[in-house]
Amino acid sequence: MQLQHKTCLALSSLLLAAGAHAITFDGAVVTSTPPSGWNAVKPTFQGTDAAGNTRYWNLLGLSEFGDTNYALVTAAGYQSVYGASLVFPSSQYALTNTYYLASALSINNFYMADFELHEATPFLFSGVEAAAFTASLGNGSFSSSTLTLVGYRNNAVVGTFTVNLSDTHFSWFDSSFATTPIDRLEIQSSGPGKRWLIDNIGLTYLSDAPMPLAAPVPEPEEWALMMTAVGALAARTAARRRANRKETAQ
* Domain extents in the chain: 22-210
| Regions of the chain with pLDDT less than 50 | 1-21, 35, 63-66, 212-217, 222-223
What integer pLDDT is reported at residue 24 of this predicted model? 86
Q: Are 204 and 49 in contact (CB under 8 A)?
A: yes
Q: Are 204 and 22 in contact (CB under 8 A)?
A: yes
Exposed (0-12), middle (13-18) or buried (19+): which is 5, by Cβ within 10 Å?
A: middle
What integer pLDDT is reported at residue 11 of this predicted model? 45
Contacts of 23 (CB under 8 A, 6+ apart): 47, 48, 49, 57, 200, 201, 202, 203
What integer pLDDT is reported at residue 232 of this predicted model? 53
Q: What are phi and psi of 233, to 5 degrees?
A: -65, -40
Selected from 2.10.260, 3.10.450, 3.10.100, 2.60.120, the CATH number assigned to the domain covering 22-210 reads 2.60.120
What integer pLDDT is reported at residue 167 of this predicted model? 92
What integer pLDDT is reported at residue 5 of this predicted model? 44
What integer pLDDT is reported at residue 179 of this predicted model? 94
Beta bridge pairs of residue 210? none
What integer pLDDT is reported at residue 51 of this predicted model? 75
Full-model pTM? 0.73
CA 219 to chain centre: 34
Beta bridge pairs of residue 60? 106
What integer pLDDT is reported at residue 161 of this predicted model? 98
Q: How far apart are CA 54 and CA 48, in angstroms?
A: 4
